Chains A and B, each alone.
Chain A
Amino acid sequence: MGLYQSVIIFILVFLGEYFIPENSDYQPNRNGEFVTPGRAFKWNGDDLYKELRDGDNDPGPSRHFTVVFNTFVFMQIFNMINARKINDELNIFEGIHHNSAFMIIFVLITVIQIFIIQFTQDVFQVARDGLAWHQWMLCIAISLTVFPVNFITKFVPEKWFPEIGKKKRNPLENSGSLNFRKNRKLTMTFRQPQLSLR
């Protein structure tokens, strides 16, 4: 899952300018119908997006990287539902309505994330006028693929993978032993009356 998500993020970062659609009324539109690449430098080391930001009319943080950030967060939000079942149960939504805290937090994160993307602008380094609806659709669509990927992973035999986090422990250690003897000696010495010779 981590591998899959990383691959998605890198595809978005490096190839995003070929398929992420740009807002049609966005001016000046530098890359046709797709977003301007948000990477600061070109492969040969020349300035790419940095050039625009250093110029006179700074366009603000890149819309391309806003899409990357939004997709990343929504992948985590959907993966939160996946993580509810750790023993390969097929139905990940089972019993979700009994867990009100989960539902509240899920909605809360989603609402705050939408707020961050649309309104915070330079504070969270997201594009100044938020994302258009078709960019939102793209983000959510890419993020939703974590469900099928997680589902397919359930049928991969788990014997191929290691286990982590074992602590070697002797079952006889640190148990409540009943070794009273030492304490008994101690109390007896304390209780010995002081003999005075007077």
Chain B
Amino acid sequence: MEGPEFYKKVGGLMCKNCEKDSPCECPEKKVQEVVKNKNEFIEIWHNLDVLARSRPEDKYLLVTGLRQMGEVVAVTGDGTNDAPALKKADVGFAMGITGTDVAKHAADIILLDDNFASIVKACMWGRNIYDNIRRFLQFQLSVNIVALASAFIGSCILRESPLQPIQLLWVNLIMDSLGSLAEATELPTPILLERPPHKRDEYIISHKMVKHL
């Protein structure tokens, strides 16, 4: 499919707030751009592989529509005409060597070596950081539950905490600084890439983590 044809079929963007064509007169904070002809977009979306001869408007429309469907969108581009789509996407990758300054400023991540394989690497590191945060939370929360329970119930029954304040300080030192450092320095492995991606509305503490708490 070609870009202008796509734009004509979908009908462009409109503002959800005032029901007028985008760009509208609404204040900037209130603008919510949505696809005009939603059913048509969904039909095209399921069959679309390549959008040829696409203009900046078409790219921008496609990204907006995909985000509206709840997808997580990444865009790569180098030229000035990619800038709107790069800005609109969840993650915009711009080329570092061939890319124009406009594209670089609009993007979130700049590929310094212009290599598409770097996107995979970025994905791996991103998942690794997310996992490290969850590891740290898992460790931290389980320590806190035990320390809290023993200090509270101990104080209620024994009239003193079984763990002295100075000992709890040392425990805090272990888990806050040293423990988090240990958990957060885990390196990424290629196994991370075999997992399905995280959803936009996923819980950070999953069923499995609550189980281990």
Contact = CB atoms under 8 A, between A and B. Distances in A.
Interface string A98-126: 11011001101100000010000001111
B171 A73 contact: yes
Contacts of B171: 72-73, 76
A198 interface: no
A169 interface: yes
Contacts of A125: 164, 166-167
Interface in A65-122: 65, 68-69, 72-73, 75-77, 79-80, 82-84, 86-88, 95, 98-99, 101-102, 105-106, 108-109, 116
Contacts of B210: 158, 161-164
A195 interface: no
Contacts of A197: none
Contacts of B162: 9, 13, 65, 68-69
Contacts of B146: 2, 5-6, 9, 72, 75-76
B70 interface: yes
Contacts of B141: 2
Nearest to A101: B185
B150 A40 contact: no
B23 A40 contact: no
B203 A175 contact: no
Contacts of A101: 181-182, 185
A176 B91 CA distance: 11
Which of B16, B27, B208 has the largest count of A CB atoms less than 10 A from its CB?
A: B208
Interface of A: 1-2, 5-6, 9-10, 13, 39-41, 61, 65, 68-69, 72-73, 75-77, 79-80, 82-84, 86-88, 95, 98-99, 101-102, 105-106, 108-109, 116, 123-126, 150, 153, 156, 158-166, 168-173, 175-182
A105 B70 CA distance: 41
Chain B interface residue number, banded? 35 or more
B68 interface: yes
Interface of B: 16, 23, 25, 27-28, 31-34, 60, 64, 67-68, 70, 84, 87-88, 90, 106, 131, 134-136, 138-139, 141-143, 145-147, 149-150, 153-154, 158-160, 162-164, 166-167, 170-171, 174-175, 178-179, 181-183, 185-187, 189, 200-213
12 contacts: A2-B145, A6-B153, A13-B150, A39-B158, A75-B146, A95-B186, A156-B211, A163-B205, A166-B204, A169-B201, A178-B88, A179-B23
Given A86-B134, A172-B68, A177 B28 contact: yes
A82 B139 CA distance: 8
Given A39-B158, A150-B212, A102 B207 contact: no
A109 B122 CA distance: 33
A178 B185 contact: no
Contacts of A150: 212
Contacts of B16: 172
Given A10-B153, A105-B179, A179-B23, 5 more contacts: A13-B154, A73-B174, A165-B203, A166-B203, A168-B201
Contacts of B60: 178
Q: Which 6 A-B pairs have the closest CB atoms?
A: A2-B145, A163-B203, A158-B207, A83-B139, A176-B87, A125-B164
Contacts of A168: 201
A106 B185 CA distance: 13
